[in-house]
Amino acid sequence: MSDYEAVIGLEIHAQLLTRSKIFCGCSAAFGGAPNTHVCPVCLGFPGALPVLNRSAVDYGIRAAVALGCQINGTSIFARKNYFYPDLPKGYQISQYEQPLAVHGGVDFDGPGGRMHVGITRVHLEEDAGKSLHEGFPDSDRKTYVDFNRSGVPLIEIVTEPDLRDAADAAEFFSQLRTILVWLGVNDGNMEEGSLRCDANVSVRPKGQKALGTKAEVKNLNSFRFLQKALEYEIGRQIDLLAGGGTVVQETRLWDSGSGVTVSMRSKEEAHDYRYFPEPDLPPVLVDESRVATIRAAMPELPAARRERFTTEFALSAYHAGQLTQSVAAADYFEAVVKAGAAPQSACNWITGTLAAKLNESGTPIERSPIEPARLAGLLKEIDAGSISGSIGKDVFETMYSSGRPAEEIIAADGLKQIDDDSQIAGPMADVLANNQDAVAQYRAGKASTFGFLVGQVMKATRGRANPKRVNELLKKALDA
Ligand SMILES: [Zn+2]
């Protein structure tokens, strides 16, 4: 293995799910015809004054509390000055010296076991507009700009450089996304850019305390890209150092087509932005009662719920993890159990048969055509032995397409399991009479024909015979 180790920290930008923008009343919805969600404030007209959206602060606090941060009683907006065509004011309103929240941390289960990642800070800021390089009449010689995104509220979450491995970083980002979506503060839609990640990465000889020179890889909008970009970048830096070269501090872009990072610009330092307190906005004051109210309204977080599923319902960590991918899945599972299904069967059916069926049509579990209580009804019939598992699958299909309850389908279609030996005896006698070769082979010692004969009896009863009874009765008949 390599004599170097990587040091990775992430900066994650998450769009907050407020209806309006952070400093004006324009819609914060994604899309819309270009430049239709705009006003003098978010277009940066001179003299137009920002007014802070209270909900954006509440969402920011909610996320920061979930990430274990301390909320600052006073935080200050600051101007981050730079020029870019999608930033008409010439500065972005962000937070610098006194952010909304600091000193948090998240425990998560990475590929290499339980890990802790410190959260340095969570701050509020506005998003910039968007340059459009294609799709317009003069796109071959002009760049267009859409300001609908200008002024949309973001939180930036900055981690400590606690990660050492590309796969861990990707897993952490994925679990952070789950938390933000779970809290209802972000929609997790990375394709639309409402969740984006920049990674700071450096390498150093193993055992060395001092950090190496870092590069920042920008705008990684999928977990896979984050992992691949980090793997490439770590390898590149190690090769440089091992070859006697030096790493240059710079901003790099991931080129997913060629699978490499490429230099974009030399990395700017904080002083390049000439941060200063935003004179048009008062300090943000957050008192303890506001934080307490938000904390009290927080849902049970994914990690706690996972833990509870393993203790309360005796599920494996793996299954508990699968059921806590979203609030909706976890709620659905608990509702099925509450309606009387055994937790393990509920888990198996939800993560297996139901998940597969929902995936076929891209239907989220909260819109499942089978309500939790109805699924519980089916599972109770199966667990009580009134229908077999394989008939249960057929009943499930009918429930899914018709929305009818299991009990009704079972009664109407005559699917109830046959436990009565006298009703199995007739079909079994026919099977034995029609398959004398197989019977002779079994009696001559070929045990495998037994399974074939069981199958024939099941077929003759349209799968309704209790397989256990069929086994016992057949054995008795053949061994007689
Ligand atoms: Zn506006």
Give 267's pLDDT tier (boundaries 50, 70, 90).
low
CA 324–ligand 1 middle distance (angstroms): 37
CA 298–ligand 1 middle distance (angstroms): 30
CA 26–ligand 1 middle distance (angstroms): 4
398, 347, 344, 409: which is closest to 370 by C-alpha?
A: 398
Residue 1, pLDDT above cutoff 60:
no
CA 320–ligand 1 middle distance (angstroms): 43
pLDDT of residue 93: 98
Residue 179, pLDDT above cutoff 60:
yes
CA 155–ligand 1 middle distance (angstroms): 18
pLDDT of residue 270: 67
CA 23–ligand 1 middle distance (angstroms): 7
The answer to whether the beta carbons of residues 155 and 63 sit under 8 Å apart is yes
CA 44–ligand 1 middle distance (angstroms): 9
Q: For residue range 51-87, list pLDDT tens digits in order.
A: 999 999 999 999 999 999 999 999 999 999 999 999 9
The average pLDDT across 301-327 equals: 93
pLDDT of residue 419: 77
The average pLDDT across 377-395 equals: 85
> What is the DSSP code string of 197-219?
EEEEEEEEETT--S----EEEEE
Q: For residue range 109-118, list pLDDT tens digits in order.
A: 777 778 999 9
In angstroms, what CA-CA distances link 307 with 81, 298, 313, 400?
Answer: 45, 17, 10, 31
CA 327–ligand 1 middle distance (angstroms): 32
Q: For residue range 338-365, list pLDDT tens digits in order.
A: 999 999 999 999 999 999 999 999 999 9
| Token code pair at residue 20 | 């309006």
CA 151–ligand 1 middle distance (angstroms): 7
CA 389–ligand 1 middle distance (angstroms): 58
Q: Which residue has the tokens 């998240």?
A: 106
CA 40–ligand 1 middle distance (angstroms): 6
442-465: buried (b, 16+ CB within 10 Å) or exposed (e) per residue?
beeeeeebbeebbebbbebbebbb
Q: For residue range 409-431, list pLDDT tens digits in order.
A: 887 777 777 778 888 888 888 88
pLDDT of residue 387: 81
Residue 264, pLDDT above cutoff 90:
no
Lowest mean pLDDT among 157-171, 269-283, 379-393: 379-393
Give 406's pLDDT tier (boundaries 50, 70, 90).
confident
| Token code pair at residue 271 | 């002083």
CA 25–ligand 1 middle distance (angstroms): 6
> What is the DSSP code string of 397-432?
HHHHHH---HHHHHHHTT---B--HHHHHHHHHHHH
CA 39–ligand 1 middle distance (angstroms): 4
Give 11's pLDDT tier (boundaries 50, 70, 90).
very high
The average pLDDT across 190-206 equals: 93
| Token code pair at residue 94 | 């962000």
Under DSSP, is residue 182 helix (H, G, I), strand (E, B) or coil?
Answer: helix
| Token code pair at residue 292 | 């307490």
| Token code pair at residue 248 | 């240059």
CA 38–ligand 1 middle distance (angstroms): 4
The average pLDDT across 262-283 equals: 86
**Which residue type occupies 132?**
L
Give 334's pLDDT tier (boundaries 50, 70, 90).
very high
CA 22–ligand 1 middle distance (angstroms): 9
Length of the chain equals 480
The average pLDDT across 244-271 equals: 84
Q: For residue range 33-52, list pLDDT tens digits in order.
A: 999 999 999 999 999 999 99
Q: What's the whole-number average pLDDT of the chain? A: 91
Residues 6+ apart with CB under 8 A from 127: 13, 15, 149, 150, 151, 152, 153, 154
Q: For residue 14, report the phi and psi dihedrals to the nearest 5 degrees.
A: -125, 125
CA 282–ligand 1 middle distance (angstroms): 19
The average pLDDT across 19-43 equals: 95
In angstroms, what is the C-alpha Rg of the chain? Answer: 30
Residue 8, pLDDT above cutoff 70:
yes
Give 134's pLDDT tier (boundaries 50, 70, 90).
confident
Lowest mean pLDDT among 22-36, 181-195, 434-448: 434-448
388-425: buried (b, 16+ CB within 10 Å) or exposed (e) per residue?
beebbebbbebbbeeeebbeebbeeeebebbeeeeebe
d(C-alpha 241, C-alpha 116), whole Å = 28
CA 6–ligand 1 middle distance (angstroms): 42
Q: For residue 149, report the phi and psi dihedrals to the nearest 5 degrees.
A: -85, -15
| Token code pair at residue 85 | 């065509």
CA 92–ligand 1 middle distance (angstroms): 14
The answer to pTM > 0.85 is: no
